[in-house]
């Protein structure tokens, strides 16, 4: 299973080195985790209803929505349409692509452009990647 934290399109125009060497192409940067393991499919109403209630309780705000707020027939139909998945994780692998194979100035500039566009998750992740590259020389 892949859990995507963030991703962003990176234009070759954002790399200052492109203006000199013209050897850049578009790419996609990302932060993800790959979970490997055994999956169990739970297609029974009790399991689904219990987990929907737990998730709702966990994520609702100060005036929480509850399943009892909707007509029972409606909730019953919704619950029947959900298939529960349980994963026993045996291996978890983080994957990060933040233009780390590019020149320092290219990483910095692309990160700054993303931040200026409001794509802070990838932009903010790229700037420390640039700083680590600068430290290594």
What is the mean pLDDT of the segment spanning 71-89?
A: 95
Please indicate, yes or no, whether residues 96 and 130 belong to a single structural domain of this protein.
Answer: yes
Q: Are 85 and 42 in contact (CB under 8 A)?
A: yes
Burial (CB count <10 Å: 0-12, 13-18, 19+), residue 99? buried
Please indicate, yes or no, whether residues 95 and 32 belong to a single structural domain of this protein.
Answer: yes
Q: How big is the CA angle at 35 (ends 29 and 40), to the nearest 5 degrees?
A: 140
Please indicate, yes or no, whether residues 32 and 67 belong to a single structural domain of this protein.
Answer: no
**What's the domain count of the chain?**
2
Please indicate, yes or no, whether residues 24 and 58 belong to a single structural domain of this protein.
Answer: no
pLDDT band at residue 133, thresholds of 50, 70 and 90? confident
pLDDT at 69: 94
Burial (CB count <10 Å: 0-12, 13-18, 19+), residue 26? exposed
Q: Which domain holds residue 52?
A: 44-82
Give the model confidence (pLDDT) of 90-132 as tens digits.
Answer: 999 999 999 999 999 999 999 999 999 999 999 999 999 888 8
């Amino acid at each position: 299973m892949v859990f995507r934290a963030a991703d962003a399109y990176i234009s070759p125009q954002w790399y200052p080195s492109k203006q000199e060497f013209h050897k850049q192409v578009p790419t996609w940067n990302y932060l993800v985790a790959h979970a490997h393991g055994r999956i169990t499919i739970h297609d029974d109403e009790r399991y689904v209803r219990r987990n929907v209630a737990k998730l709702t309780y966990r994520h609702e705000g100060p005036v929480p929505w509850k399943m009892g707020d909707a007509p029972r027939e409606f909730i019953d139909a919704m619950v029947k349409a959900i298939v529960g998945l349980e994963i026993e994780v045996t291996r978890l692998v983080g994957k990060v692509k933040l233009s780390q194979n590019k020149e320092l100035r290219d990483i910095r500039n692309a990160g700054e452009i993303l931040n200026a566009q409001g794509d802070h998750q990838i932009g903010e992740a790229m700037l420390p990647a640039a700083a680590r590259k600068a430290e290594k020389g």
